[in-house]
Structures are given as structure tokens and as C-alpha cells.
Structure 1
Amino acid sequence: MNVMANPLSMFDVKGNVALITGASGAFGMVAARILAGAGCKLVLVAGNQTALDEIAKECRDMGADVTAINTRPTDEDICNGLVAQAVQAYGKLDILVVASGMNKVALINDMAPETFTSVMDANVNQTWLLSRAAAGQMKKQGSGKIVLVSSARGLLGHPAGYTAYCASKAATDGLTKALGCELGAAGITVNAIAPTVFRSPLTGWMFEDNEDAKKVRDGFLARVPVGRLGEPEDLAGPLLFLASKASDFYTGHILYADGGYTAG
């Protein structure tokens, strides 16, 4: 097919197999809905059984073939097993979206060392293990798309107790670049989406019409050139781009979904 005659074909992921961890979380749910709507077969992974069942049902109602796995990617065996289950269910793995992770907020002298370690483990170590497991399968196939979830906080600091989170997301950015360099020759691209605040169950209060929310929102919006907070649909374009053939020449990139927040 002549791509220039049909450029939208580059974004077609119908029939592709996508493994999404953290599928019951803010970004993971959005990713599941986007890829379900685009026609992917989904392996959804989350530790919260109730929330996992809800997003799995929602995606099935959209017509997607869904395998739901109630676990967290806490060690090598689990991560390898998730990739194996995806291949067993659907014969391949085209897309990995690592949306699992955590944040624990405390000023440095109030944060226990084990708290810092737990955030780094969830956001960095587990991302590395999942990428490692997926890369092994994708190398056999000769292609694959790995999409990690970073944050604007991987580039920018924060005064309110974000040492663990900022450090973990900066490490995610470094991992994205290193893996992009390492896996490119195998036909595997590795990129990250780095959102700022977007509407989710965790941030919904910032969108409310009250003085407290308005004060926080206005302070934040003073740094956002487009003048608004993010909506879930703002993540659809970046994810489809990075998960499809449209991004075959792009790897090791951090794509800021931030309305220009990190530009100024």
C-alpha cells in the first residue's frame, strides 16, 4: 500500500496485541480504552481486581478481545510470565505499555529510606523488568513497540516532597533513551509519554468549581501555554503514534503531553 496515498494506515494497530500494566490506574485505563477502540487485543494487568474487572468489561463492550490478569509486576518471574501469557493467548506481543507505578509524597527528612526505595522499585526496577521480558519476545518477532510512562517531573523538580517520584521518572527517561539505543537494531522502538496533570479519578478535584481547586488550578495554569489542564483524549494521539508504524523512525524519545508546561 502506498503510505502517501493512505497516510492513516500508518496509525492502524487493529489486531495488534498490547500488554498494559497498571491497567486500573489513571494512565493505564486511558491506554486500555484507546487501544481497545483502535482494535487491539489486550492483556490488561492490575493489582486491584475490582477495578481490573471494570476496565476489562468496558473494553470488551467496545469489541476488544481482553485477557485480564490480577497481579503486579513485582519480580522477574511475574514479568516473564505476563509476556508468556500474552503470547500463549494471542501468539505474539506487539505493544507493551508500562503504566504501573506509584508516588509517595513526603519531604526528604520525613521520608523513610524504605519509602524512597519502594517508589524507585515500582517506577524503575519493575519497568526495567517488564521491558526486558517484552524485548526478549519482540526480538524473536523482529519488531515491537515499548511505551513507558514518565512525567513532566522527570525533567522538572517539585518543592512539595517529590524527591522519590522525580528521581524515578528521571530514571525512566534515562531508561527510555538507553533502551531506544540498544533495541533499535532489533526493530523495537522504545519511547515514553510524559504527561502533566490530566483529568483522572486522582486529579478530578482540580477540575472542580470551588475556590480551593481554582487556586491550585490557576497557579498551575500560569505555566501552561495552552491555558487548560489535560483531558484523557489528549493522550490518544501520542499513544497511537508511539504504538503504531507511524513511529518506526522514532526511538528514545520523551514525548511531553503537557500543553507546553515544560517548554517555558
Structure 2
Amino acid sequence: MAETLSVIVGGSTGMGRATAALLVQEGRTVLLIGRDAAKLETAQRTLMAEGPGRVETRVADLTDPASTEALIAALAAEPRPIIHLVNAAGTFYPKSFLDHEPADYDAYAALNRATFFVTQTVARNMARSGGGAIVMIGSMWAKQAIKATPSSAYSMAKAGLHALTQHLAMELAGQNIRVNAVSPAVVVTPIYGAFIAPEQIEATLTRGFDGFHPIGRVGRVEDVAAHIAFLLSDKAGWTTGAVHDVDGGVMAGRN
């Protein structure tokens, strides 16, 4: 059987890396894409020791048009069938709407633009190869405004990913490509390092948001990764165009 490839954009840390761990344990060949070479190297070394699969890496900064174009060219030239794509790259820094500057907005817009065209390139590979599964990491903030974390530009960008998920599901179903999304609430992940000291992220989030979730705790990357892995798998073969709340019950109601 020809080797297939699972691509995780934003795979060096957080939910992307946790998803990679599950795929490597299944024996998959995983390509991690991230902008920090050192983090990619660490993730590759660690993951290769955890399972029978293989891990490859590529450095790319999705906020840099030239870097994004180079990534797209590399993916377009990939001869192996790509069967999985996880769009896990993200950035998050709460800021008042009245204080937003064009650069703040542009950072989110650039990431969405890159995600759009990277996904298009991978979907072309999948269409040629017989199909695949794509999962977007969206956000609860795309559905609900949270006063403690004003995030208008971020939420607008994530809502775009939710909409893209549904449109691609419709357009690509005929090519045997399923497209779904997860919509997490507060998860302990390095993304909060933009405004919380890395060593304080876990304590800050658990102290401030455990009680916010009906289940009684913030999420862990493994919680979301397990659901992503399900959506990538044949077990979710009749699921496409769905945006699944993986959020400790927040969208059902908040404490």
C-alpha cells in the first residue's frame, strides 16, 4: 500500500501536536507545519519516540505571504496522497474593539487567507487521490461573546472558519472529502502565551475558568485531539459540515 500523509498545520504545540500524537500511535506518517523550527524539532523527536508512525516537519509562517506561498508550492508538489488535514494554527490576544488597530485585524485575516489556500491545495491532492478528511479548529468565541476576553477580530476570523467548513463540506462531498470543525471553549494551550506568562497559563486558566464550564474544568489539548482524531477517522464517515462543540458544556449553558 502506498504511503499516505496526514498534514497538521500548527502541529508543533497544543491541540495540533496532541492530535499528531494520536495519529503517530496509529502508525501514520504525519507532516507537522509550524513557524518555530526548534519547537518542530522537539515535537518530532518526542512524537517519534511515542509511536510506530513517522513524523516530518516543515517550517512555514502563515502570516508571511512568501512563506505561505512556499508551503503551498511544496504541498502542491507532494506526490503522496494526503488523507488528513488539520488546520490548528492560531493566535489569540484579547483586545477591546475600540483599541483594535489595523495590524491586529490583519494578523487574523492573514492567517485565514493562508488557511484558505493551504486547504485548497491539500483538497486538490485529496480529490486526485480518492478523498480524505479535513478538520478546522474553530472556537466558542465565534458563537458567543465573552466579556472577560474581548475578541472581536479573533471571533470574526473563527466564525469565517466555521462558515468555510460548511461550504467546503458541500462542495467537496462529491470528491469523497469530508470537512468538519471543532469549537473548543477554554483549553490549556500555549496560544494564551501571547498575554499570559507561559509558566502561569495553566494556573491562570484553571483559577479563572474552571467554574465557567458546566463540566467543572477547563479543557486539555487531549480532550480536543481525541475528537479531532474521531472526525478524521472512518468512524465519522457519515459526518461532514459539522461544527462540534468540544467545550465542557459551555454552549449548553454557563455556570
TM-score by shorter chain over 0.5: yes
Alignment correspondent of 2:23: 35
**SS of 1:66's equivalent?**
strand
Cα distance between partner residues in 2 of 1:187 and 1:177: 15
**SS of 2:154's equivalent?**
helix
In the alignment, residue 69 of structure 2 is paired with which amino acid?
A: D
In the alignment, residue 262 of structure 1 is paired with which amino acid?
A: M
Cα distance between partner residues in 2 of 1:227 and 1:43: 35
Instruction: Tell me whether 1:244 sits opposite 2:247 in the alignment.
Output: no
Alignment correspondent of 1:8: none
Which of residues 70, 87, 111 is equivalent to 1:78? 70
Alignment correspondent of 2:200: 205
In the alignment, residue 199 of structure 1 is paired with which amino acid?
A: V
RMSD over equivalenced CA pairs, Å: 2.1
Matches within 5 A, 1:141-156: 141-156=129-144
Q: Where does structure 2 lack aligned partners over 5 or more consecutive residues?
A: 193-198
Which of residues 13, 21, 32 is equivalent to 1:25? 13
Cα distance between partner residues in 2 of 1:227 and 1:253: 25
Cα distance between partner residues in 2 of 1:27 and 1:126: 19
Cα distance between partner residues in 1 of 2:120 and 2:29: 21
Please say which of residues 132-141 and 59-68 is displaced more in the overlay. 59-68
Alignment correspondent of 2:150: 161
Q: What does the per-residue CA deviation read over 1:104-148, in whole Å, with 9 as the maximum and x for residues that have no partner? A: 3321221112211211221x2122111101111111112111111
Instruction: Tell me whether 1:175 sits opposite 2:164 in the alignment.
Output: yes
Cα distance between partner residues in 2 of 1:29 and 1:198: 14
Alignment correspondent of 2:45: 57
Does the 8 A contact of 1:23 with 1:44 survive in 2?
yes
Which of residues 176, 179, 185 is equivalent to 1:190? 179
Matches within 5 A, 1:125-144: 125-144=113-132
Cα distance between partner residues in 1 of 2:37 and 2:133: 27
Does the 8 A contact of 1:207 with 1:217 survive in 2?
no
The 1:228/1:17 distance shift into structure 2, 3 A limit, reads same
Cα distance between partner residues in 2 of 1:57 and 1:215: 32
In the alignment, residue 170 of structure 1 is paired with which amino acid?
A: A
Shift of 1:217: 2.8
Alignment correspondent of 1:47: 35
Instruction: Tell me whether 1:216 sits opposite 2:211 in the alignment.
Output: no
Q: TM-score with structure 2 length normalisation?
A: 0.86
Which of residues 101, 104, 112 is equivalent to 2:101? 112
Cα distance between partner residues in 1 of 2:90 and 2:225: 20
**SS of 1:251's equivalent?**
coil
Does the 8 A contact of 1:25 with 1:100 survive in 2?
no
Q: TM-score with structure 1 length normalisation?
A: 0.83
Cα distance between partner residues in 2 of 1:239 and 1:138: 18
Q: How many residues align?
A: 240
Q: Where does structure 1 lack aligned partners over 5 or more consecutive residues?
A: 1-14
Shift of 1:215: 5.0
Instruction: Tell me whether 1:92 sits opposite 2:91 in the alignment.
Output: no
Does the 8 A contact of 2:19 with 2:229 survive in 1?
no
Does the 8 A contact of 1:225 with 1:260 survive in 2?
yes
Shift of 1:25: 3.2
Cα distance between partner residues in 2 of 1:245 and 1:136: 20
